[in-house]
Chain A
Amino acid sequence: MEEHAEFTVEELVLNTSFRRWVKERDQTEEKFWLNWIGTDKHRKDKTEEASRLISILGEKDFMDLSDAELRQDIADVMLKVRILKKNQGRSDSSRGWLAAASLAGILMVFGIVLFWNNSKTITTVSESSEREVDAFIRFSNTTTRPLTFLLPDSSLITLEPSASAFFYNNTPNERKIELTGRASFDVRRDPQRPFVVLSNQVVTRVLGTVFKVNSTPQTGSVQVEVLSGKVSVFRESDWEDSKKELHKVTSGVVLTANQKVDFKVIDGTFRKTLIDLPAKIRKTGKDDFEFVMTPVDEIFFRIEEAYGVEIVFDRDLLAECKLSASLSEENMYEKINLICQGINATFQEVDTRIIINAQKGCE
């Protein structure tokens, strides 16, 4: 019955069964459509035109995740799920713990413990904060391997062995953490409540991102490394001043992905550099680092795009330089090193920028 129905070209394009035949070569659908066409020349022409229209409609890449980012994101979700699962049925006892904690003002945690199973638990905390109790949760890692904790705002903190942190509950305008030791953070975005990490005279402020802080009192320095997103880092004294007076300009350092800062407690200075092994900050196609007689400015541009770093070089001098190279496997520094070898240049890192030093151009 249906096989006698007439279809316009447009209807064919929109027909789910027809699309399945064209795009996925579905056997069942194929049978139907071949039968429908039969020996009808007109139907055959329409089918061909519709197939062509379907095949030109492809999704053009706009933004995409790299495989590594995808894996990381899925691992993050699964980690949160495992934490939730582990604490299922423990909600009553953890609420009891929290009540006790707000009385004592301190909560000792060893291992992974979830602090919110439902919104009620969170309310318990905020109620106590209204009473101006200095309520905070303490996390510490006394084991020999990294431990991950879920914070009440559903950000993640991973403490390295012997690191510890306090999370303040009674701060409606910010999420405040005091950290001793080394930790990495995966912060949930919430512009109304910036995430603030205090560590040995340094304040790191963030809206939502992935970064690491290393503040080991013995070394007299604090390092902040940014893996994605953007954070700002201040001296604690500047930070406090800026909070007292509104609109005051605060001196600090802004870090974007692949940058780190080293703060020396003794003289209060910041030194900003690239992290040791910069990772790609956006997905690149598999041919993006396959070069065939490509002008070096184009090659440098690709690297800048992929890693979010700035490369400084003499455009006029290197205008004629072209390279053929396959650099997909190499890390960022290896890539730059190989390019420099190809054009007889050297490079150095100054202030998070890569400076290319070339003596002469190419023929």
Chain B
Amino acid sequence: MDIATLENDDLILWQEFCQGNELSFEILIHRYYSRLYRYGTRIWPDDAIVRDCLQELFTDVWVRKEQLLNVTSVNYYLISAIRKRLLFEKRKQKPFHYLDSWDESEMFICEFNVESDLISQEEKKQKATRLNILINTLSSRQKEVIYLRFFNELDHDQIAELMGLTRQSVYNLLYETIRRLRNMWLVLLFLSF
């Protein structure tokens, strides 16, 4: 789904929904459910919990719709809502997961996929692996920043607000990662010839 061009359209639907339009609400859920699920499972890879949280999120949003008229970005509002909810649940349920090795809010799963047709099939896998090694040297926080920018199209201000970072550090981080990716890519190109 093309996020940027839908943004305006989404806001119109959102306003209709805030006034109680069920159909607009359903269209919005259709547009965002899978994307929020994918983001959610990267924070907490548990299908049942993420789906429960999404159910609660959308029912809550419906209940509080009159107060949500001033939302300016539907994409940002929903991403930030599911993030808060999952981190809250994670803290609440921590005692039940004492056996798990991962640390609270210290996990974000993100791998890039080399999808360019420029690369031949047999090289594809190897390059994807190498790029993923690069990505995996980043911290969870950094991975989440990259993910939000590239796959959810949040802007720098929104990411900064969501993650509690300054706009400058978000930009620096993104810039640095692209720079490393670029170098990595040049090395890969060089190796393959």
Contacts and interface: CB of A to CB of B under 8 A. Distances in A.
Interface of chain B: mostly helix, strand, loop or mixed = helix
B193 interface: no
A80 interface: yes
Interface residues of A, number: 44
A14 B175 contact: yes
A74 B30 contact: yes
Interface of B: 2, 4-5, 20, 22, 25-26, 29-30, 33-34, 37-38, 41-42, 45, 47-49, 51-52, 54-56, 58-59, 62-63, 93, 96, 109, 111-116, 118, 128, 131-132, 147, 149-151, 153, 155, 171, 174-175, 178-179, 181-182, 185
Contacts, number: 128
A105 interface: no
Given A9-B182, A55-B115, A63-B41, A84 B93 contact: no
Contacts of A10: 175, 178-179, 182
Given A56-B181, A57-B112, 12 more contacts: A10-B179, A52-B116, A58-B115, A60-B111, A62-B109, A63-B47, A64-B34, A69-B51, A80-B55, A208-B48, A209-B48, A228-B48
B137 to A, nearest CB: 16
A82 interface: yes
Contact of B185 (A20, A52, A63): A52
Nearest to A61: B113
Interface of A: 9-11, 13-14, 16, 20, 24, 26, 49, 52-53, 55-65, 69-70, 73-74, 76-78, 80-82, 84-85, 154, 188-189, 191, 208-209, 228-229, 282
A77 B116 contact: no
Q: Main secondary structure on chain A at its contact with chain B? A: helix
Contact of B112 (A49, A60, A228): A60
A60 B113 contact: yes
B64 to A, nearest CB: 11
A292 to B, nearest CB: 15
Contacts of A49: 182
Contacts of A52: 116, 118, 185
A154 B58 CA distance: 13
A81 B62 contact: yes
B4 A24 contact: yes
Contacts of A14: 149, 171, 174-175, 178
Nearest to A55: B116
A209 B52 CA distance: 9
Contact of B131 (A56, A73, A77, A154): A56
A191 B153 CA distance: 35
